[in-house]
Structure 1
Amino acid sequence: MIPALLGLCPVGGYAQNGADRLPNVIYIMADDLGIGDLGCYGQRLIKTPAVDGLAKSGMRFSQHYAGCTVSAPSRCVLMTGKHTGHSFVRGNKGVEDAEGRKFDFPLADGEVTVAEVMKRKNYATACIGKWGLGGPQTEGHPNKQGFDYFFGYLGQANAHRYYPEFLFENEKMVKLDKQVYSHDLIMEKALSFIEKNAEQPFFLYLSPTIPHADLILPDNQLGDYDGKFVEKPFKGGGYVAQPKPRATFAAMVSRLDRDVQRVLDLLEEKGLTENTLVMFTSDNGTHKEGGHDPFFFNSSGGFRGAKRDLYEGGIRTPFIVSWPGVIKSGTVSFHVSAFWDFLPTMCELIGEKVPAGLDGISYLPALTGTGKQKQHDYLYWEFHEQGGKQAVLRDNWKLIRLQVDNPAKTRQELYNLNTDPMEVLDVAGQYPEKVKELGKLLDKAHVSSELYPFKTERK
Structure 2
Amino acid sequence: MNAKYWLRASVVLLAVGFNALSVKAQQKPNIIFILTDDLGYGDIGVFFQNQRKASGDHSQPYELTPNLDKMALSGARFTQQYANAPVCAPSRASLITGLNQGNASVRDNQFDKMLENNYTVASMLKTAGYSTTAIGKWGLQGVKEEGPDWPAHPLKRGFDKYYGYMRHSDGHEHYPLEGLYRGKKQVWDNYKEVSAGLSKCYTADLWTAAAKKWIIDHKNGKEAAKPFFMYLAYDTPHAVIELPTQAYPVGGGLKGGLRWLGDAGHMINTASGTIDSYMYPEYANATYDDDHNPATPEVPWPDTYKRYATAVRRIDDAVGDIRQLLSDLNIADNTLVIFTSDNGPSIESYLPADFVPNHPTFFGSYGPFDGIKRDCWEGGLRMPTIAAWPKHIKAGEVVNTPSMLSDWMPTLADAAHIPAPARTDGVSLLPCLTGTGKQKQGLVYVEYFEGGKTPDFKEFEPGRRGRKRNQMQAIRMGDLVGVRYAIKTADDDFEIYNAVNDPKEISNLASKPGYAKIQEAMKAKVLQVRHADAEAPRPYDTVPVPADKVEGRLLPGLFWEYYAGKFPWVAKTDGLTANSTGTSKNITGNEAGHKPGMVCYHGFIKIPADGHYTFSLQVSGKAYLRLHEATLIDADFGYQPGTVLTQTVNLKEGAHAIALYYLLPESGMPKVTLKCTDQNRIDISGKNLVFFSH
TM class by shorter chain equals 0.7 to 0.9
1:122 aligned residue: 129
CA contact (8 A) 1:130 1:152 kept: yes
CA distance in 2, matches of 1:331, 1:412: 33
2:207 alignment partner, one of 171, 186, 198: 186
1:375 positional shift: 1.3
Higher helix share goes to which structure? 1
1:264 alignment partner, one of 315, 323, 340: 323
CA distance in 1, matches of 2:34, 2:387: 10
- RMSD (Å) for aligned C-alpha atoms: 2.5
1:409 positional shift: 11
CA contact (8 A) 2:96 2:120 kept: yes
CA contact (8 A) 1:391 1:398 kept: yes
Q: Deviations over 1:118-160 (max 9, x none)?
A: 1112211111111121144232211100011111111111211
Residue 98 of structure 2 aligns with an amino acid whose one-letter code is G
Matched, 1:27 2:109: no
TM-score with structure 2 length normalisation? 0.59
1:19 positional shift: 8.5
CA contact (8 A) 1:361 1:374 kept: yes
**1:208–1:231: structure 2 CA closer, same or farther, 3 Å change rule?**
farther
Higher strand share goes to which structure? 2
CA distance in 1, matches of 2:24, 2:131: 21
Query: Secondary structure of 1:248's partner?
Result: helix
2:447 aligned residue: 382
Residue 313 of structure 1 aligns with an amino acid whose one-letter code is G
Query: Secondary structure of 1:385's partner?
Result: strand
1:319 aligned residue: 385
**1:425–1:323: structure 2 CA closer, same or farther, 3 Å change rule?**
same
Structure 2 portions without partners, runs of 5+: 1-7, 13-20, 54-61, 177-183, 245-273, 291-300, 350-356, 452-469, 543-694
CA distance in 1, matches of 2:540, 2:440: 36
CA distance in 2, matches of 1:263, 1:418: 34
CA distance in 2, matches of 1:312, 1:178: 40
Q: Deviations over 1:157-191 (max 9, x none)?
A: 12111123221111222234875322221111111
CA distance in 1, matches of 2:25, 2:160: 25
TM-score with structure 1 length normalisation? 0.88
More deviation in 301-310 or 291-300?
291-300
**1:409–1:244: structure 2 CA closer, same or farther, 3 Å change rule?**
farther
1:440 positional shift: 0.9
2:286 aligned residue: 228
CA distance in 2, matches of 1:409, 1:227: 54
Query: Secondary structure of 2:340's partner?
Result: strand
1:446 aligned residue: 530
**1:394–1:417: structure 2 CA closer, same or farther, 3 Å change rule?**
same
2:162 aligned residue: 150
Q: Deviations over 1:267-300 (max 9, x none)?
A: 1111111110111111111111113221120111
CA distance in 2, matches of 1:187, 1:248: 19
2:506 alignment partner, one of 384, 407, 424: 424
Residue 191 of structure 1 aligns with an amino acid whose one-letter code is K
CA distance in 2, matches of 1:283, 1:107: 16
More deviation in 309-318 or 177-186?
177-186
CA distance in 2, matches of 1:410, 1:171: 48
**1:357–1:408: structure 2 CA closer, same or farther, 3 Å change rule?**
closer
CA contact (8 A) 1:403 1:410 kept: no
Aligned length: 427
**1:230–1:293: structure 2 CA closer, same or farther, 3 Å change rule?**
farther
Aligned 1:192-203 pairs, distance under 5 A: 192-198=213-219, 199=224, 200-203=226-229
Query: Secondary structure of 1:42's partner?
Result: helix
Q: Deviations over 1:204-223 (max 9, x none)?
A: 01111111121111342112
CA contact (8 A) 1:402 1:410 kept: no
CA contact (8 A) 1:229 1:246 kept: no
1:351 aligned residue: 417
2:237 alignment partner, one of 199, 204, 211: 211
2:306 aligned residue: 247
Query: Secondary structure of 1:271's partner?
Result: coil
**1:178–1:18: structure 2 CA closer, same or farther, 3 Å change rule?**
closer
Matched, 1:53 2:53: no
Residue 297 of structure 1 aligns with an amino acid whose one-letter code is F
Residue 285 of structure 2 aligns with an amino acid whose one-letter code is G
CA distance in 1, matches of 2:391, 2:24: 13
CA contact (8 A) 1:399 1:439 kept: no
Residue 278 of structure 2 aligns with an amino acid whose one-letter code is Q
Matched, 1:77 2:94: yes
Q: Deviations over 1:358-383 (max 9, x none)?
A: 2100011111111111112x311011
Residue 188 of structure 1 aligns with an amino acid whose one-letter code is A
Q: Deviations over 1:396-431 (max 9, x none)?
A: 211112113x44996632212233221012222223
1:437 aligned residue: 521
Matched, 1:394 2:477: yes
1:42 aligned residue: 48
1:108 alignment partner, one of 101, 113, 116: 116
CA distance in 2, matches of 1:302, 1:167: 37
2:376 aligned residue: 310
Q: Deviations over 1:326-353 (max 9, x none)?
A: 1111111112211111111111111222
